Structure formats: C-alpha cells, structure tokens
C-alpha cells in the first residue's frame, strides 16, 4: 500500500498536474461548471465524477451557500416532453465515471440567494456515502452554455450570450 501510494504520488508530481495529485485514492471531480442564473431562480451544476477509491460510492447530497435548497436531479425526455425529477443518489462506480450534464443528471441549485454571473466561481460541497465531503469551486458559465469553459459540445455556440448585451452579429 505504501509503495502504491508512493508510485502514484511520484507520477503525479512528474506530470506537474495538481488535479492528478489531488485525485489520488479519492473521488475526483472533473470540469465542474454551473449555469449563470438570477437570484430567486434556479441553476444547475454539472461535472464528471471519477472514482479512484477502489470501492463503489455514491453522491448522496450537495450544498452551497448560494442556493437555499440543493437537490440531485435527473431528466427524462419522453416523446419530446422534458420531465425533471429528484434522485436519491448518483452512483459513482469504479471505472465508470458519473457524468452530470445538461439534459441529464445535475445538481440542482434551487432558489438562489443571489445572481450567479458568468466568470465567477461558487463553492459546492458534495457529500459521498463513503468518500465523505468534498468542497469544490465551481466556475459559472453563461446562462446558455452547454459545457465547461472551452467546450462547445457540438452546438457550436459555446457561451456567447451570457451577458445579454450586444448581439455579436
């Protein structure tokens, strides 16, 4: 075990990636982001959760000071009708990252205490059944973003409309 840890640590340091270092033996949160939204309304946070712990785990709750209620949700698209529903937990199995993304699983930030503006970051505490609590900083993207910064995700518009000022055409 000690040897394993040492090897992992050495590789991470060599690669000079703080993310990899932090990820060792843990639940790793990759590319978190949230949507800009108005105070009193709702937003959603997305991310990919990778389980490096060697045992299956699940995200059981989340909290942030910027929302009065935080819930874990999924979407069901049925015949063109979008239905959003709470889920009890989001499974994070070893070798099977949980992907939270628009139109699917998300951490729903309900009744925001203030405006969330593109460019800022918000703290989000994630509670895992086995791995315990992790607090991360989540970058806020434009209201119309489809992915984390720098990812167009196939729609080709990225986050050009976040501020509502001045059309780009």
Partner 1 sequence: MTLWQRLGVGLATAAVAGAAAWFFIPAWLGPPRSEPVQVALPAGITLGGPFSLIDETGARVTNETFRGRFMLIYFGFTYCPDVCPTELAKMAAALDLLGDAAEEVVPILITVDPERDTPAALAQYTDLFHPRLIGLTGTEAEIAAAARAYRAYYAKVRTGQAPDEYTMDHSAFIYLMGRRGEFVALFNPETTPEQMAEAMRRAISASPRVSKMQPQGGRT
64 binds partner 1 (CB under 8 A): no
Angle CA(27)–CA(29)–CA(33) in degrees, nearest 5?
Answer: 160
35 binds Cu ion (CB under 5 A): no
Instruction: Kindly indicate which of the ranges 55-63, 73-81, 89-97, 127-135 contains the residues binding partner 1, using the contact rule CB under 8 A.
Output: 73-81
Can you tell me which of 56, 75, 129, 151 binds partner 1, judged by CB under 8 A?
75
Least Å distance between CB 93 and partner 1? 22
CA distances (Å), origin 16, targets 10, 28, 106: 10, 17, 30
Number of residues that bind partner 1 (CB under 8 A): 41
108 binds Cu ion (CB under 5 A): yes
Q: How far apart are CA 73 and CA 82, in angstroms?
A: 13
Angle CA(13)–CA(19)–CA(25) in degrees, nearest 5?
Answer: 85
36 binds partner 1 (CB under 8 A): yes
Report DSSP state, residue 142. P
Instruction: Kindly indicate which of the ranges 54-62, 70-78, 125-133, 136-144 contains the residues binding Cu ion, using the contact rule CB under 5 A.
Output: 70-78
Residues forming contacts to partner 1 in the complex (CB under 8 A) are: 35-38, 41-44, 75, 77-84, 86, 102-103, 106, 108-109, 142-146, 154-157, 160-162, 164-169
């Amino acid at each position: 075990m000690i040897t394993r840890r040492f090897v992992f640590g050495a590789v991470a340091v060599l690669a000079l990636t703080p993310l990899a270092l932090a990820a060792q033996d843990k639940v790793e949160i990759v590319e978190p982001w949230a949507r800009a939204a108005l105070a009193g309304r709702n937003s959603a946070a997305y991310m990919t959760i990778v389980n490096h712990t060697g045992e299956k785990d699940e995200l059981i709750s989340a909290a942030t000071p910027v929302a009065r209620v935080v819930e874990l949700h999924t979407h069901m698209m049925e015949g063109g009708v979008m239905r959003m529903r709470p889920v009890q937990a989001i499974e994070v199995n070893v070798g099977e990252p949980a992907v939270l993304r628009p139109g699917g699983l998300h951490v729903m930030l309900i009744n925001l205490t203030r405006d969330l503006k593109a460019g800022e970051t918000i703290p989000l505490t994630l509670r895992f059944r086995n791995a315990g609590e992790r607090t991360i900083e989540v970058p806020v993207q434009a209201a119309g973003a489809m992915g984390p910064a720098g990812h167009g995700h196939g729609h080709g518009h990225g986050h050009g409309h976040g501020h509502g000022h001045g059309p780009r055409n």
